[in-house]
């Protein structure tokens, strides 16, 4: 029996998810392609609002497409809202302090159960709502929405598995994803964050190899101390409370139209 299979997105949903991801990748990787100038205070001052105005509607369109295709019903949308509220509540007590953000364990488990499209939408929506709730609205917000969305979507693409083996796979994925989240997020401000010609500074007009080497050095020197605690915390939460949370999420999936497979329904029926 396999309790981890999810119904994939519809074809229009996949096109939207891929298109949004390509747009996001371009937003993150542009310093390696063109020269960036300015300061941290002015970083993405003009393009971040535009990016936010593009991403937020795309999340709504993605959900609308899945609703129209019969992949998600009204109760599924309600589950999305409840999980976004739970993620916001997890983020409020420690909004990135020392990297201790327990949001990601819930995001990974939900993406695992409900699939990549739901995981992507949940990641983006949770960051948006929590940003508004905590006053954390700024040019970094659309980049956080994209990065968190990718974490949730990736969890929905993991190979099938059950029981303890599944939880270890999820814990390993969560640890790696939390580190990569921090690494990717560094890209939004790195070109503007280090002045002068240091070994970790962005060099306008330099080749890809030079800036990539400087970025890796910057990430190791400034971000790893935040990324590792985030990875350890969320991976540990997966191992400690992942089993009952997965059961609860799968029971909710069995009562909504969120694409649980026959195997998922069988596992829920057998769960204590």
pLDDT value at residue 5: 41
Regions of the chain short of the pLDDT cut 50 = 1-6, 40-42, 259-272
Q: How many CB atoms lie within 10 A of CB 210?
A: 12
**Does residue 270 lie in a domain region?**
no
pLDDT value at residue 269: 40
pLDDT in tens, 91-115: 887 655 556 788 999 999 999 998 8
pLDDT value at residue 107: 96
Q: How many domains does the chain have?
A: 1
**Does residue 231 lie in a domain region?**
yes
| Phi, psi angles (nearest 5°) of residue 256 | -130, 170
**Distance of alpha carbon 135 from alpha carbon 138, whole angstroms:** 9
pLDDT value at residue 272: 44
**Does residue 245 lie in a domain region?**
yes
**Does residue 58 lie in a domain region?**
yes
**Does residue 89 lie in a domain region?**
yes
Q: Which domain holds residue 51?
A: 11-32+44-260
| Phi, psi angles (nearest 5°) of residue 6 | -125, 150
pLDDT value at residue 197: 73
Positive or negative torsion for Cα 23, 27, 29, 33: positive
**Does residue 87 lie in a domain region?**
yes
**Does residue 1 lie in a domain region?**
no
* Those residues with Cβ within 8 angstroms of residue 103's Cβ, 6 or more apart along the chain or in another chain: 87, 90, 91, 126, 130, 148
pLDDT value at residue 70: 63
pLDDT value at residue 146: 92
pLDDT value at residue 95: 57
**Does residue 216 lie in a domain region?**
yes
């Amino acid at each position: 029996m396999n309790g981890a299979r999810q119904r994939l997105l519809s074809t229009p949903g996949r096109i939207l998810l891929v298109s949004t991801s390509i747009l996001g990748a371009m937003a993150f990787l542009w310093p390696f392609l063109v020269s960036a100038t300015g300061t941290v205070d002015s970083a993405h001052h003009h393009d971040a609002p535009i990016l936010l105005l593009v991403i937020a509607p795309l999340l709504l369109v993605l959900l609308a497409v899945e609703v129209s295709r019969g992949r998600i019903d009204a109760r599924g949308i309600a589950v999305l809202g409840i999980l976004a509220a739970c993620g916001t509540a997890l983020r409020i007590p420690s909004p990135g302090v020392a990297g201790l953000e327990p949001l990601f364990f819930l995001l990974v488990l939900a993406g695992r159960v409900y699939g990549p499209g739901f995981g992507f939408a949940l990641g983006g929506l949770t960051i948006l709502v929590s940003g508004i709730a905590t006053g954390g609205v700024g040019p970094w917000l659309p980049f956080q929405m994209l990065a968190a969305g990718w974490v949730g979507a990736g969890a929905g693409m993991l190979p099938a598995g059950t029981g303890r083996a599944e939880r270890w796979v999820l814990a390993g994925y969560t640890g790696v994803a939390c580190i990569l989240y921090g690494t990717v997020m560094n890209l939004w401000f790195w070109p503007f964050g280090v002045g002068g010609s240091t070994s970790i500074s962005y060099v306008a007009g330099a080749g890809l190899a030079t800036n990539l080497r400087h970025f890796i050095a910057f990430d190791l020197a400034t971000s790893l101390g935040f990324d590792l605690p985030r990875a350890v915390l969320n991976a540990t939460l997966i191992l400690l409370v992942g089993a009952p949370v997965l059961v609860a999420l799968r029971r909710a999936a069995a009562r909504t139209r969120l694409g649980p497979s026959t195997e998922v329904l069988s596992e829920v029926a057998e769960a204590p």
